[in-house]
A and B are shown apart, each in its own frame.
Chain A
Amino acid sequence: DGGITQSPKYLFRKEGQNVTLSCEQNLNHDAMYWYRQDPGQGLRLIYYSQIVNDFQKGDIAEGYSVSREKKESFPLTVTSAQKNPTAFYLCASSTERGLNTEAFFGQGTRLTVV
Chain B
Amino acid sequence: QQQVKQSPQSLIVQKGGISIINCAYENTAFDYFPWYQQFPGKGPALLIAIRPDVSEKKEGRFTISFNKSAKQFSLHIMDSQPGDSATYFCAASGEAAGNKLTFGGGTRVLVKP
Is A106's beta carbon under 8 Å from chain B?
yes
- A63 interfacial contact with B, CB 8 Å: no
Are A98 and B43 in touch, CB under 8 angstroms?
A: no
Check A100/B99 contact, CB under 8 A, given A43-B89, A90-B44: yes
Q: Which B residues are in CB contact (< 8 Å) with A41?
A: 105-106
Mask: chain A, 25-51; 1 = CB below 8 Å from B; 0 = not: 000000101010000111111001010
Contacting A at CB under 8 A, from B18-49, are: 31-32, 34, 36, 41-46, 49
Interface residues on A, range: 20 to 34
> B residues near A, CB below 8 A?
6, 9, 31-32, 34, 36, 41-46, 49, 51, 89, 93-95, 98-106, 108
Q: Which of B43, B93, B100, B103 meets A42, CB within 8 Å? A: B103
Q: Nearest Cβ distance between residue A71 and chain B, in whole angstroms? A: 17
In the bound complex, residues from chain B placing their C-beta under 8 Å from that of A107 are: 41-43
Please indicate which of the listed interface residues A48, A90, A100 has the most CB atoms of chain B within 10 Å of its own CB: A100
Option from A44, A50, A108 in Cβ contact (under 8 Å) with B99: A50
